[in-house]
């Protein structure tokens, strides 16, 4: 599989989003997914301390222990979801506690990419960067990144790092997919201007870009929209405009003998700023489909045509 850089880290262009591990996926299924990933060239695993209340990190730590030096592990800190009062956020106090907990759950002596999960307006960014810089200096973290940020926050963090002689963020993890391409106009250029890699989350738009939903048909049982989303919300998600674009994407993909899912991932990889597409999966079969998509290198004409539909 092709690889790209996140700062000093070399990662596979298709990674594994680990939010389903320890929640939807039990240990047996998680082990099968991780084995399939490593065996097929996936080296980048992205998790967070909040996923499964730490269960995702624990499974990764236990199941990847024997292969630790062959993989790149990214995790996140700072979410206040489900946290005790006073926990979470981006203060130096919390960062110091959070990193030790993640290191323990991951059974490792270093985190390859440590990411601020959400901005914390109560803490000056230079304080956050100072605490993260200390972790890098101590060898507990190799690179640092951020997520769910806007253009102004990317610029502010870059200025603060430069002005204070601190380690800068080397990556930005924000939403980007064929149905939500807005980042191409703001956060992707901002990241690129500062030499930062871009990591798109929700690359398949929570399953909408897999081809499983059809115009005029109820969402299949066993799918997210079929089992977990109210009908009125489904109607908004699967609007006529959405179906128009899905059908246009499928036509473009079919011209080259590919599927909508393959186009969705290949198009993201075709963006120069994207380092790795971190799609979550619940089975080895889904993982293999994502890996296969990485083999398709879009032509400039096809990529341009797809982008035009995405913005249409």
pLDDT tens digits for 173-218? 999 999 999 999 999 999 999 999 999 999 999 899 999 999 888 8
Residue from 87, 106, 135 nearest 47 by CA: 106
Q: What is the DSSP letter of 181?
A: -
Say if strands 14-17 and 9-12 run parallel, antiparallel, or are unpaired: unpaired
Lowest-confidence range among 19-23, 58-62, 86-90, 153-157?
Answer: 86-90
Within 10 A of 285 (CB to CB), how many other CB atoms are there?
11
Q: Considering the chain, what is the average pLDDT of its residues?
A: 95
Q: What is the dihedral of CA 63, 174, 98, 93, to 10 degrees?
A: 170
Amino acid 118: pLDDT: 97
Q: Quick one: pLDDT band at residue 231, thresholds 50, 70, 90?
A: confident
Amino acid 236: pLDDT: 87
CA angle 250, 248, 15 (to 5 degrees): 50
pLDDT 10s digits, 18-48: 999 999 999 999 999 999 999 999 999 999 9
pLDDT 10s digits, 146-175: 999 999 999 999 999 999 999 999 999 999
Q: Quick one: pLDDT band at residue 94, thresholds 50, 70, 90?
A: very high
Percent of the chain having pLDDT more than 90? 88
Q: Give whole-number Cα distances, 285 to 119, 143, 226, 290, in Å.
A: 35, 31, 20, 9
What are residue 75's DSSP bridge partners? Answer: 114
Among 51, 81, 114, 213, the active-site one is 51
- The 3-class SS string of 243-268 reads HHHHHHHHHHHHHCCCCHHHHHHHHH
Say if strands 9-12 and 3-6 run parallel, antiparallel, or are unpaired: antiparallel
Q: Quick one: pLDDT band at residue 281, thresholds 50, 70, 90?
A: very high
Given a cut of 90, is residue 222 above it in pLDDT? no
Structural domains in the chain, sorted by start: 3-210+260-306 (3.20.20.100)
- Rounded Cα gap, residues 85 and 199, in angstroms: 30
- Rounded Cα gap, residues 18 and 287, in angstroms: 12
Phi-psi category of residue 294: left, alpha or beta, with phi > 0 → left and psi -120 to 50 → alpha? alpha
Contact criterion met (CB below 8 Å) for 18 and 25: no
Segment 113-141 mean pLDDT: 98
Q: Quick one: pLDDT band at residue 143, thresholds 50, 70, 90?
A: very high
Amino acid 233: pLDDT: 87
Q: Quick one: pLDDT band at residue 87, thresholds 50, 70, 90?
A: confident
Amino acid 119: pLDDT: 96
Does residue 213 have an active-site annotation? no
The answer to whether the predicted template modeling score (pTM) of the entire model surpasses 0.85 is yes
State phi, psi for 175 to the nearest 5 degrees. -70, 135
Q: What is the DSSP letter of 123?
A: S
Given a cut of 80, is residue 84 above it in pLDDT? no
Segment 243-248 mean pLDDT: 96
């Amino acid at each position: 599989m092709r690889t790209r850089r996140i700062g000093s880290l070399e990662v596979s262009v298709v990674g594994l989003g680990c939010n389903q591990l320890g929640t939807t996926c039990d240990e047996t299924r998680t082990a099968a997914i991780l084995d399939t990933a490593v065996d097929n060239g996936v080296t980048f695993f992205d998790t967070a301390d909040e996923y499964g209340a730490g269960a995702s990190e624990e499974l990764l730590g236990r199941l990847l222990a024997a292969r630790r030096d062959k993989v790149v592990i990214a995790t996140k800190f700072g979410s206040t979801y489900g946290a005790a009062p006073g926990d979470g956020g981006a203060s130096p106090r919390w960062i110091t506690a959070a990193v030790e907990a993640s290191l323990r759950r991951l059974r490792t002596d270093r985190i390859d990419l440590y990411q601020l999960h959400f901005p914390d307006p109560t803490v000056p960014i230079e304080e956050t960067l100072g605490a993260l810089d200390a972790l890098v200096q101590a060898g507990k973290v190799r690179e640092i990144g951020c997520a769910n940020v806007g253009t102004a926050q990317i610029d502010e963090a870059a200025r603060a790092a430069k002005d204070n002689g601190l380690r800068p963020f080397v990556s930005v993890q924000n939403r980007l997919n064929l149905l939500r391409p807005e980042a191409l106009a703001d956060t992707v250029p901002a990241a690129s201007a500062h030499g930062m890699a871009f990591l798109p989350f929700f690359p398949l738009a929570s399953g909408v870009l897999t081809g499983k939903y059809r115009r005029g048909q109820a969402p299949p049982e066993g799918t997210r929209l079929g089992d977990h989303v109210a009908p009125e919300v489904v109607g908004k998600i699967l609007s006529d405009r959405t179906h128009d674009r899905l059908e246009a994407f499928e036509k473009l993909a079919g011209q080259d003998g590919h599927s909508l899912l393959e186009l969705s991932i290949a198009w993201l990889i075709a963006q120069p700023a994207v380092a790795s597409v971190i799609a979550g999966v619940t089975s080895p079969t889904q993982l293999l489909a994502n890996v296969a998509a990485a083999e398709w290198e879009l032509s400039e004409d096809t990529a341009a045509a797809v982008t035009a539909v995405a913005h249409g």
